Structure 1
Amino acid sequence: MNTPSTNPGPARGPADHEVRDQIVAAATEHFRLYGYSKTTVSDLAKSIGFSKAYIYKFFESKQAIGERICANCLREIETDVRAAIASTNRPPEKLRRMFKAAVESSLRLFFEDRRLYDIAATAATERWATVRAFEERIKAMLQDILRQGRDSDDFERKTPLDEAATAIYLVMRPYLNPLLLQHSLDHTEDAPAQLSSLVLRSLSP
């Protein structure tokens, strides 16, 4: 599968300018210490040693910086999920491993670092572009697995492909969305196997 590009949000200045990466790295650390919602661009400028005006040359707002950090986090989850899918050739097993990797990677990223959870929660609440793009890539992965499963006669063919992929995504969503995941922590150990088994039974030809 080809890896679609991410949409990290509005950015200014030269695309390859190392200062942008420096701002993002410093902002990530600052948000870890103080939280996203409590930090202003002025606070960030002081901590980095840049002027506020200079930061605005590269990012139009605090959200634009947050979107870039969020994109980096979601890219980690996506990388884990893609690796899990690629580790087997059987479509049913791809789906099982996708569920497992998505839950484990989300837990690690969103809850091992509570300050970064603050950014993820804000992104999910406000439906940032990075979040919407991530959701579409997850659905595209699901469609690809479903297509392969239909070709191998493992899955039924009656349900429209996009409808089936969206339905499966909605089953996965409580374990991909940080706002929902915090209410599902008691079930994360067993949920991937149980939910993927339920979905696979519904996909039987």
Structure 2
Amino acid sequence: MNRPVRTGTDPDEARARILEVAEQHFRRIGYHKTPVADIASELGMSPANVYRFFPSRDAINESICGRVLNEVAEIALAIACTNAPAVEKLDQLLTALHQHNKMTLVKEKHMHDLIAAATQENWSIIKAHTERTVTIFEAIIRAGIEAGEFEVEDAAEAARAVRSAFMQFFHPVLIEHCVQHSEDIEADLRDQIRFILKALRKRGSLEHHRQDQDSQPIHG
């Protein structure tokens, strides 16, 4: 059923409705196969009217991409705000980022393709998301330094290094390669997280954490 949008009274509401319908189409058939005319038709408006609220089709694509990336950011922030030790939070965060991106690849392939395109084409929303993620890494690492869990001189530099070291497990193109070619991606994931934590942690406290983590099941 077409749901006309009252374009003259509430621009924010109109933009939200356009994005809602666009996202539904993107998830169902993919962003490449979704013309603006179909979005407009479902909303009972003309394509020209859609462009009153978005300067281009690319702006719609980037807005939808931002909505998906916000889901990831909310997961990251929720973990970062817990009262767990920093080493556990970083472990949980890296695991959650990987699992979320892997599930997007497997269960929401059309949205994965959108994120992959945005990453390969260097959309500004990807840069902002990357900076936000690294900032969360940095906050956890800085708290770990203050608590005596981590032993690094520069939290910001360490956060960037963590991102680089973990790239293959959450970059949309690289994770696709991992899923297709790794014999045991979960084991590879655990190995890389242990490597990262070993690089950050104070000597002498790592072995206890490793034993704790090895005793916990991996949830795929």
Q: Smaller-chain TM-score range? A: 0.7 to 0.9
Tell me the residue number matched to 2:174.
180
User: 1:38 matched to which residue of 2?
Assistant: 33
The Cα of 1:15 is off from its aligned counterpart by 8.2
Confirm or deny that 1:203 pairs with 2:200. yes
**2:112 equivalent to 1:111:** no
Contact 1:174 1:181 in 2 (8 A): yes
Provide the alpha-carbon RMSD of the alignment: 2.1
| Contact preservation (8 Å) 2:11, 2:53 | no
CA distance in structure 2 between the aligned counterparts of 1:42 and 1:189, rounded to whole angstroms: 43
5+ residue gaps, structure 2: 1-7, 203-220
* 1:17 Cα deviation after fit: 2.0
DSSP 3-state at the match of 2:166: helix
1:32-63 CA deviation, whole Å, 9 max, x = no partner?
Answer: 33321233323433444321110001111112
Q: Contact between 2:76 and 2:136, CA under 8 Å: does it hold in 1?
A: no
TM-score, length-scaled by structure 2: 0.79
What is the CA-CA distance between 1:75 and the residue it aligns to? 1.0
Task: Tell me which of the two structures has the higher relative contact order, counting C-alpha pairs closer than 8 angstroms and 6 or more residues apart.
Answer: 1
Alignment equivalent of 1:49, drawn from 44, 47, 51: 44
Bigger Rg, which one: 2
The answer as to 2:68 corresponding to 1:73 is: yes
Structure 2 CA distance, aligned partners of 1:197 and 1:123? Answer: 30
Q: Report the alpha carbon displacement of residue 141 of structure 1 after superposing the two structures with TM.
A: 0.7
Find the aligned partners of 2:89 and 2:9 in 1 and give their Cα distance.
Answer: 39
> Which ranges of structure 1 fall in alignment gaps of 5 or more residues?
1-12
User: Shift of residue 178 of structure 1?
Assistant: 1.3
Q: Distance in 1 between matches of 2:141 and 2:107?
A: 32
How has the CA–CA distance of structure 1 residues 100 and 167 changed in structure 2, closer, same or farther, with 3 Å as cutoff? same
Match of 2:160?
Answer: 166
SS in 1 for 2:177: coil
TM-score, normalised on structure 1?
0.84
CA distance in 2, matches of 1:196, 1:133: 24
Which shifted more, 162-171 or 38-47?
Answer: 38-47
Contact 1:99 1:196 in 2 (8 A): yes
Q: Distance in 1 between matches of 2:99 and 2:24?
A: 23
Distance between the aligned counterparts of 1:15 and 1:157, measured in 2?
Answer: 50
Shift of the alpha carbon at 1:124? Answer: 1.1
**How many residue pairs were aligned?**
192
